[in-house]
Amino acid sequence: MATELSDFQNGKFILIDKDKDWTSFDVVNKIRSTLKYHFNVKKIKVGHAGTLDPLATGLLIIGTGKKTKELQTHQDAPKEYVTTVKLGATTPSFDLETEEDKTFSTENITEDEIKKVVNSFIGKQKQVPSSYSAKWINGKRAYESARKGEEVKLEPVDIEIYEMEILNISMPSVELRIKCSKGTYIRAIARDLGNALNNGAYLTKLRRTKIGDFSVKDAITIDKFQKLL
């Protein structure tokens, strides 16, 4: 870990393993305030490459100083996630942010059917983002309107699923590894998976494991960053 202010001003990438309930902005703000306090400076540039939902954990690339100009390159890189999807129910947000609003029987869903549907998701496609996503619409984030009960209409976007592997099936939960293009919403994949099975589904766990060539295996927690500094 660099120890000189000039190292961070010239630019560094810091790989953070984000905890649950932290927003990406929380992480950026914490690192910025930590650096400002440690080096006794009033300003230092800090940014991130790709928002991660508060309920998700995993890899967040933080850039400091001149390296903030390179963050877009990593934001555009393919992402990999490990996620758990619960079949047999839906929530308005397609994850645990909201309560279940509908339930369905999963008795007739077979493992072979799940495997067939999962394989059908691989490739280029159009995806309608979740209304609880951070997409900008009419000057504000979509989730801001959705949380107020306002109707949110989002247009389909072009995405690509490069790999989608079943890691475990323990009904009604399915654990998946997904490698996808930028702009892909894993919560929307859960929704579409449920629809494809003529059922319902939502995320119960989400962890980002890779961004391009960067892996969460090489990341550190915020606490570890502060101790190393």
Q: Cα separation of 189 and 184, whole Å?
A: 8
Q: What is the pLDDT of residue 13?
A: 95
* pLDDT value for 2: 60
Contact 126, 219 (CB under 8 A): no
Please check the confidence at residue 100 and state whether its pLDDT lies above 80. Answer: yes
Query: 53, 76, 112, 223: which is the annotated catalytic residue?
Result: 53
d(CA 31, CA 60): 12
Three-state secondary structure of the chain: CCCCHHHHHHCEEEEEEECCCCCHHHHHHHHHHHHHHHHCCCCCCEEECCCCCCCCEEEEEEEEHHHHHHHHHHHCCCEEEEEEEEECEECCCCCCCCCCCEECCCCCCCHHHHHHHHHHCCEEEEECCCCCCCCEECCEEHHHHHHCCCCCCCCCEEEEEEEEEEEEEECCEEEEEEEECCCCCHHHHHHHHHHHCCCCEEEEEEEEEEECCEEHHHCECHHHHHHHC
Q: What is the pLDDT of residue 49?
A: 94
Question: What pairing do the DSSP bridges indicate for beta strands 12-18 and 173-180?
Answer: unpaired
pLDDT digits (tens, 9 = 90+) for 12-43: 999 999 999 999 999 999 999 999 999 999 99
Q: Is 101 a catalytic residue?
A: no
List the one residue out of 5, 2, 1 whose CA is nearest residue 40.
5
Mean pLDDT along residues 98-125: 97
d(CA 134, CA 52): 10
Of 61, 48, 72, the residue nearest 14 (C-alpha): 61
pLDDT value of position 143? 73
- In the predicted structure, residue 93 carries a pLDDT above the cut 70: yes
Give mean pLDDT, residues 43-55. 92
Structural domains in the chain, CATH included, are: 5-76+213-228 (3.30.2350.10), 79-211 (3.30.2350.10)
pLDDT tens, position by position, 168-222: 999 999 999 999 999 999 999 999 999 999 999 999 999 999 999 999 999 999 9
**What pTM was computed for the model?**
0.92
Question: For residue 65, what pLDDT is reported?
Answer: 95
So what's the pLDDT on residue 210?
A: 98
* Model pLDDT for residues 118-170, shown as the tens digit of each residue: 999 999 999 998 877 777 777 777 777 677 777 778 889 999 999 999 999 99
pLDDT for the residue numbered 153: 80
User: Does the pLDDT at position 1 exceed 70?
Assistant: no
Instruction: Give the span between the Cα atoms of 150 and 159, in whole angstroms.
Output: 26
